[in-house]
Amino acid sequence: MTAANKLEPACGADASPSVAGGPPRPQVDVVALNWNGWRDTIACLASLQKQTYTNFHLLVVDNDSTDGSVQHIGEAMPSVELIQSGGNLGFGGGCNVGIRLALERGADYVWLINSDAIADPHALAALVGVAERDAALGSVGSVLYEAGEPDRIQLWGGGRVQLWSGQCYPQRAATSLDFISGASVLLRCAALREVGLFDEDRFFMYWEDTDLGLRLRQADGRR
């Protein structure tokens, strides 16, 4: 899967952490969760290191891999911070390890990206650009494309939820959304402090991003 934000590609034109004479660019902590997939994770990290937006910190959370991931990633990407979760905490629990660290460090945003994704060089700049233009946004998502088929949309940001039936409908065209997919989502830290992180007690894998998206929508008009 390739993650790339094509909604605001022009935002990638400014690659500096700050504009001359202006305020500093927001600090972003980028969190990639690895579980027994070090080859994909290394490729993902390589694409993240090419982002035109430069004011970010890259963090890999290893979710108790058994394939030597920690050693392989550490050797291939020695400059990338790598922490171990201490157990397989699932998607939400593993991501929360990185999110909590970002909150403790005072980051403005956390970008969660699937470790099997390849990010467009302008993706982070576009995400931050959209978020900075509307302080009511608790999250911003990406257009996701199929691996090997760069013109085929896999997911347009996220999906809709039919609460009475409990069904989720992924979106593949521009439309309003109930939640942003955790495959690539920029989360505003101020919003997370208000509504909380992924509910790792109720969700091990799947639906945790839906739950968080609904909570964000309910909080002060955030969407």
In DSSP notation, 131-154 reads HHH-TT-SEEE-EEEETTEEEEEE
Element (H, E) at 101: helix 90-104
**Which has more pLDDT, 9 or 157?**
157
pLDDT digits (tens, 9 = 90+) for 20-76: 455 678 999 999 999 999 999 999 999 999 999 999 999 999 999 999 999 999 999
Helix (H, G, I), strand (E, B) or coil at 158: strand
Reported confidence tier of residue 213, pLDDT bands at 50, 70, 90: confident
Query: Which stretch of 27-41, 101-115, 168-182 has the lowest confidence by average pLDDT?
Result: 168-182
State how far the Cα of 174 lies from the Cα of 114, in Å rounded to an integer: 21
State how far the Cα of 5 lies from the Cα of 143, in Å rounded to an integer: 5
pTM of the model: 0.81
**Which has more pLDDT, 11 or 195?**
195
Side by side, the strands of the sheet bearing 2-4 are 118-119, 2-4, 143-146, 149-156
Reported confidence tier of residue 196, pLDDT bands at 50, 70, 90: confident
CB 3 within 8 A of CB 144: yes
User: Could you give all domains of the chain from N- to C-terminal order, each with its CATH number?
Assistant: 2-218 (3.90.550.60)
